[in-house]
Structure 1
Amino acid sequence: YVLAASQKIKESKHWEADVEVDFFHAKSGANRVGTGVFKGKTLIYSDLNHIVLRILPKYASEAGENAILVSSHIDTVSAGEGAGDCSSCVAVMLELARVMSQWAHEFKNAVIFLFNTGEEEGLNGAHSFVTQHPWSTTIRVAVDLEAMGIGGRSALFQAGPNLWAVENFAAVAKYPSGQIIGQDLFASGVFETATDFQVYTEVAGLSGLDFAYTDKSAVYHTKNDRLDLLKPGSLQHLGENMLDFLLQTASSTSIPKGNAVEEEGKTVHETGVYFDILGKYMVLYHQHFANMLHNSVILQSLLIWTASLVMGGYPAAVSLALTCLSAILMLYSKGMQLSPVHQAALVKLEAERWLFKSGFLQWLILLALGNYYKIGSTYMALVWLVPPAFAYGFLEATLTPVRLTRPLKLATLLLGLAVPVLVSAGNIIRLANVLVATLVRFDRNPGGTPEWLGNVIFAVVIAVVSCLTLVYLLSYVHLS
């Protein structure tokens, strides 16, 4: 079917465009990648057939010297229909190829669509293409389309090492969706899986983007990966984003040349920080800027903490220590000559404030650790530290210890948590969705792990996320 559709695209192309269709039969070979689920394994393959479609302007032959690769796999696991993994991506690619064939006369670079086989057996299809096909030497950027589910938004979860591709995607995508948190989790090995993007970066030395559907992940690699569960809106989302990206990059004169990994001297973990906001905007900045920003916030936070403790004196230091241990301080006040009733009320208000400020300390520690280990998702600690700190500074901070302490304002909580919740709520929901689906697949295959392990893992994750994100609410609990 894919071959017939490709031939039809060739026949209906724009008269100033050139469309080449190659039914490529790969020779026998061996594949060995250094990371991921296939780490340390040597995989032997033979008799793999791929369909490769190249689109470029007819009267600009130099465009063929630089190409953008869009790749997905035709094969699927024997247990399922493969509607999500990966017929959905193949369908989007065919429609993209049809559209691109009508506009290719304006391109400066070629676009190659690779429909490969052998992915499920160990990324062999991508390996055979980049090591054997003559067009592979012209590829400068690789885009891999994958599915770990059967719907939702197709999210960017790996990018780099060169930031050129993700910069262009962030600039033109109509509905950008992507989180460096996914890249960090993928690189850590939490999810035992792999995509063709590994081959493109490790073997071919290319930079690029890796997208995947993650909704309904429980049906991934099962008989329930059916066409009736696939939502047209998911394909439309991926198609519109990729169309804008390909039109932008195919017409660009600044496409990176050569081996991006060797040129930049970087790894996929050091490219930059990217995340979307409500699927409408994508924030992107380089790692060196992230380092400067994090170091600046850490230094200023330490200075403010030191000044606060100096102004508060010994009682403030003891209050902080006890509050961080979730202890209620009922023994210290500011030393004012007040009645016992007023002193008790004052100490309660002081405990509220230090409990709120202990949240700053918690996120400051996480920010420092993430910055030290150059973890991209450290931006989460930044957004949970800075807005609440600013809200507290504007609405609650006092410049003199003589002034009586007042109850915390509800506006402080609302103003301080607006940005953190806006930025991170979607991440938490998506993470819970993927985690539950992954654990469901484990439970369907008894014997590999204890039955209780999945519940423990999920409970621990929920407890950690709750403790980290609800810390600022502790000062307001007694008001409910």
Structure 2
Amino acid sequence: MRQRHGFISDEQDLNDRFLEDRRSIHSLSFLWGVALLIYLLGIFGLIYTIDNALPTALTILDEERYPESFIAERAIRDLQFLTNLGPRVVGEYENEILTVDFLRREIDSIIHRKHINQKLEVDFQLVSGAYYVDILQVNQINAYSNVQNVIVKIHGSNNSTKSILVNSHFDSVPTSPGGSDDGINVAAMLEILRKLSVSPERPLHNIVFLFNGAEETPLQASHGFITQHAWANECKVVVNLEACGHGGKIILFQTGPENPWLLKYYGRVPHPYGQAAGEEIFQSGLIPSDTDFRIFRDFGGLVGLDMAFYKSGYRYHTKYDDFENIPPGSYQHVGDNILFLVKQLANAPELSEGTNVPGKMVYFDILGLFMVSYTTAIAIVVNSMVIILSLGAFIWCILDLKTGNLKSILSYIFLTLGGILGGWILSGVSLVSVAYLLDFLRPMSWFANPWLIVGLYVVPTIATSSCLLLRLNFENLDLNIRSQVQTHIGRLIWTCILLIGTIFHIRSMYAIMVPVLFNAMAFLVIYILGWQRTLRKWQIAYIISLVIPTALLMYQMLVTLSLFIPLTGRMGSDKHSELIVGSITVFFALLITSPYVTLITLLQKPKYFYGILAIVFSLCFIVVFTPMGFPYSGNSVSPAPQRQWITHTKRLVYDKNGTIERTESGLYFLNMDRNSPGILRDYVTDLDRARDLDEDCKNLIVCGLPISHARMIKIMNWKLISAVIKHYYSHFIEMMACMLRMKRKYSTWIPAPQPILSDPLEFIVNSKEIVNSTYIEYNITLKGPDRISIYIVPQTDMRIVDVILLNTTTSFSANHEDKELIFILFTSGKNPATMSFTFGVEVPEYHNDTTCKIAVAANYVHSKKNAKTPYFTKILGQLPEWADVVAYLGTYSLYNV
């Protein structure tokens, strides 16, 4: 066949041209397709190794060589002591006495051994208070009594009035020893305090170490410090240390607000590790967690850095969050970073000059080696330049084909655009089909074995995104030129997405900017050197240009999936976990593999390449239905448990005359993931007589259950979810969310004998005062355990005006659409306290009947003093070893007042 400058003059039918293309000198053996898959797996293996690499933990013997370095061995010793105490629960002896005594001894020892130049001061705070927070369209008042803080202050030089605050919490959830959450950070802070105290040089500014004793309740002791402690007003910057996983590296996932200078100092730490994308995901509310950073920011006006361990999120808030399985390198990672960071911040001139500097930051680490950070203003410039560069490379491509028919070239460009977008649509169809099929047959098969995601979602994406381009032919362009045009069009699509993201100020657009940049630069180099007409030079240069962006994208994909896969185990049964994980995977798969599609279109005998993909998908799909595809594992070394939250609950409903009109008891299962509770039916036979709570959710406040957190209220109340979706997204997305909900039940109720309660809850209406013709004021007292929840809902045409609790007045505006529920959460710490509060109701004129319904619930979380009935014990004994169980007792009473 005669070829002229890249153009084909002969007319052939489609099949003949396709076969001719496969025999072209520009084509590649299908073995190159196999090599491509091996190459991609090799890069991922390298990235996985790098991401899991931890610094060498220093021992006490190393201290002579590294006198100023963090010594992991001492932190390991401290954490071992803490976890040996067992769960450190607010209100229990282990938390309020033993842990505080341990901290007191260690701090006394540090003060005793400090350098003569240093001035240290310690304080023990017992604090009570209350604050309002709007969480997920719920009016919540978080109240606490007698929670504890242990605070140490290293005084700066020249009597500085500015302080750096370093925070972690020593309490844990009732069923967990709290190894990573948050014991390792407490241990790290103690060692950092030791190292700073023996230094002969005092910092320029003060450093306040806050060991707070009530974070899990939630976020209460930090509020007590920042609003009531004498040292709080001098704190300007906070370094908050948290965990939503176990071990690994501690990641920076929130910074600011504003104040770009903070990243300047974090970027210098020994092991930088952080992503602005994580900040945007966290602040979107997709992750069902929060940290003390919110409290310091909202109530103290502090700026700072929020960091957390996130790997192995399966262990988070479970019995598996232990001491034994945290690698020593994790201590060194957090210790090296925070010790360096605190030193830098405590001597930062920005602290003296003021910290109210505007501007958000784009930041991301490069494989943990160094941090890239720049302001959003610079991001707009950078992204714009990359967009222009990408367009320039495309225009050069068009000009390079000027000897051809422009109309034909444009026709092929639009044909290619349709082929690429069509392939992406096929990838979406494949995603939805596989996700719904697996959701119907065996949801979350990848939960304990994430490698299955490669076969179930990545492989179909590679096949579907490239298959249309493979048969795409054009009579006037040879295979070599067509493959280059395809690459340009694919890059331009991502360029358009980059442009849209830049317009909407999405900081995580760097994930798209980097591959677009490398792709465009590669072709500019190819055109400058004149390699576009060569047989292999342009292909080699192109493949080399893909190595760095591929590695960085795989790195970001690994971080994202490492967070979200364990997270699906506690998102609730209404969340379509297959779609969530599948969508994340397909997005990254398209972004990573779309530049390689052009190489796939060059393959000879491509059917063998697609045959390999089909075999991999089929094998993984078969594995789903074998024991290897079972979602959960109780292996203590690599656990992937199913979370079970079960409350043995007594319910009472009173009429407006104070007479009991309904009483019952049962076991309430909060369905934590997509397999709940059906996967337990072979173990817990009484689930056959369980019922859902749909009717109760219509007639009773929060479904008649002892809910203790606004996020749990969200799970129980679809109306609140709809309100959030309406507010933040659109009616279209709300409709789609309803479709994806698929009638999954949030909770399950098994009728059961009454629980045994050691401290019955008492509800006392002290007074009901008609202040004026439209305002009635109530004073209520509650006596009972140390975890009490109150839910107040006014009658129609009435509204709650204010609540007075622990000397804090919370007033509510007249706009109560979608927010009529008032939720009060009360926790008592070291010394149990009686709860009293006052609230006012705005009513129609001269109204003297019932004005509102009040539900009062109590949670009995202390297993040592709250015995379980034989029936409850029997049910718990039937649960499989792969279930991690939170078993409480609870009461719920509904009153009309």
Task: Give yes or no for the alignment of 1:283 onto 2:283.
Answer: no
Q: CA RMSD in A?
A: 2.4
Equivalent of 2:217, from 81, 99, 121?
A: 121
Q: Please, which of 545, 556, 562 is the counterpart of residue 427 of structure 1?
A: 556
Cα deviations by residue, 1:297-330 (Å, 9 ceiling, x for unpaired): 2234334435544664222222222212224442
Q: In the alignment, which residue of structure 2 is the partner of 1:14? A: 115
Which of the numbers 470, 474, 480 marks the counterpart of 2:597? 474
> How many residue pairs were aligned?
447
Q: Who is 1:340 aligned against? A: none
Matched, 1:298 2:298: no
Letter in structure 2 aligned against 1:429: L
Q: How far did residue 190 of structure 1 move?
A: 1.9
Q: Give the structure with the larger helix fraction.
A: 1
Aligned equivalent of 1:271, options 357, 360, 382: 360
The residue that corresponds to 1:248 in the other structure is: 344
* CA pair 256-202 structure 1, distance change in 2 beyond 3 A: farther
> Is contact 1:56-1:109 (8 Å) kept?
yes
* Range that drifts further, 37-46 or 209-218: 37-46
TM-score by length of 2: 0.48
In structure 2, what residue type is equivalent to 1:415?
Answer: I
CA distance in 1, matches of 2:219, 2:325: 26
Q: Contact conserved, 1:144 with 1:210, CA < 8 A, in 2?
A: yes
Report sequence identity in percent: 27
Counterpart selection for 2:262 from 165, 174, 185? 165
State the alpha-carbon separation in 2 of the partners of residues 428 and 29 from structure 1: 40
Aligned twin of 1:350: 481
Aligned partners of 1:215 and 1:461: how far apart in 2?
17
1:157–1:104 CA distance, 2 compared to 1 (3 A): farther
Query: How far apart are 1:405 and its partner, in Å?
Result: 8.1
Cα distance in 1 for partners of 2:583, 2:553 equals 19
Q: Distance in 1 between matches of 2:211 and 2:323?
A: 19
Match of 2:455 in 1: none
Shift in Å at residue 184 of structure 1? Answer: 1.3
- Match runs of 1:5-154 below 5 Å: 5-32=106-133, 40-57=139-156, 60-63=157-160, 65-103=161-199, 105-154=201-250
Equivalent residues of 1:38, 1:194 under 8 A apart: no
Give, as a single letter, the amino acid of the residue that structure 2 aligns with 1:390.
M
Residue matched to 1:195: 291
Q: Does structure 2 retain, via aligned residues, the 8 Å contact 1:157–1:183?
A: yes
Q: Deviations over 1:20-55 (max 9, x none)?
A: 1100111322242x56x6974221122111001001
8 Å contact from structure 2 (residues 158, 204) kept in 1: no
Mark the CA change 1:365 to 1:256 in structure 2 (over 3 Å): closer, same or farther: farther
In terms of fraction of residues, the more strand-rich structure is 2
Q: Which among 156, 171, 194 is matched to residue 252 of structure 2? A: 156
1:375 to 498, 506, 517: 506
What is the CA distance between 1:105 and its match in structure 2?
3.8
- Give the drift of 1:368: 0.7
Mapped partners of 2:530, 2:543: distance in 1: 23
CA distance in 1, matches of 2:599, 2:390: 23
- The Cα offsets for residues 152-202 of structure 1, whole Å up to 9 and x where unpaired, read as 11111111121222211212x111111111111111222121111112222
Distance in 2 separating the partners of 1:359 and 1:81? 50
| Residue 123 to residue 31, structure 1, CA distance change in 2 (3 Å) | farther
Deviations, residues 130-163 of structure 1 (Å, cap 9, x unaligned): 1111111111210000011111111111111212
Q: What CA distance in whole angstroms lies between the structure 1 residues aligned with 2:362 and 2:201?
A: 35
Q: Once the two structures are superposed, what CA deviation does each residue of 1:79-113 show, in whole Å capped at 9, x if it has no partner? A: 21111100011000011011111126431111100
2:543 maps to which residue? 414
In the alignment, the residues of structure 1 paired with residue 550 and residue 272 of structure 2 have an alpha-carbon distance, to the nearest angstrom, of: 19
CA distance in structure 2 between the aligned counterparts of 1:177 and 1:38, rounded to whole angstroms: 33
The 4+ residue runs of structure 1 with deviation greater than 6 A are 397-400
Work out the CA distance in 2 between the residues paired with 1:106 and 1:251. 10
Matched, 1:4 2:105: yes
Q: Does 1:181 align with 2:277?
A: yes
Report the equivalent of 2:584: 461
**Alignment partner of 1:391 is 2:490:** no
In 2: Cα distance, 1:424 partner to 1:464 partner: 11
Residues 392/308 of structure 1: CA separation in 2 closer, same or farther (3 Å cut): closer
**Shift of residue 230, structure 1, vs aligned partner:** 1.4
- Which secondary structure state, in structure 2, belongs to the residue aligned with residue 112 of structure 1? strand
| Structure 1 residues 466 and 2: alpha-carbon distance in aligned structure 2, compared to 1, 3 A threshold | same
Instruction: Say whether the 8 Å CA contact 1:55–1:104 is kept in structure 2.
Output: no
449, 465, 474: which one aligns with 2:573: 449
Are 1:56 and 1:105, in contact at CA under 8 Å, matched by a contact in 2? no
Aligned to 1:333: 476
The Cα shift of 1:407 comes to: 6.6
- The aligned amino acid for 1:20 is E
CA–CA distance in structure 1, aligned partners of residues 117 and 170 of structure 2 = 30
Q: How do residues 219-234 of structure 1 correspond to structure 2 at under 5 angstroms?
A: 219-234=315-330
1:295 Cα deviation from its structure 2 partner: 1.7
Unaligned 5+ segments in structure 2 are 1-101, 420-468, 604-608, 610-897
Q: How much does 1:203 deviate?
A: 2.0
Q: How does 1:319-330 map to 2 (within 5 A)?
A: 319-326=412-419, 327=469, 328-330=471-473
Question: Is the 2:361–2:374 Cα contact (8 Å) retained in structure 1?
Answer: yes
User: For the residues of structure 2 that align with 1:55 and 1:134, how far apart are their CA atoms?
Assistant: 15
Alignment partners' CA distance in 2, 1:151 and 1:124: 25
| Paired amino acid for 1:293 | V
Cα separation, 2, equivalents of 1:103 and 1:38: 49
Distance 1:427 1:306 in 2: 31
1:215 aligned residue: 311
Deviation at 1:274, TM superposition (A): 1.3
**What is the Cα deviation at residue 406 of structure 1?**
5.5
Match of 1:361 among 473, 492, 510: 492
In the aligned structure 2, how far is the partner of 1:300 from the partner of 1:27?
Answer: 59
TM-score calculated relative to the size of structure 1: 0.87
Of 409, 427, 438, the residue aligned with 1:316 is 409
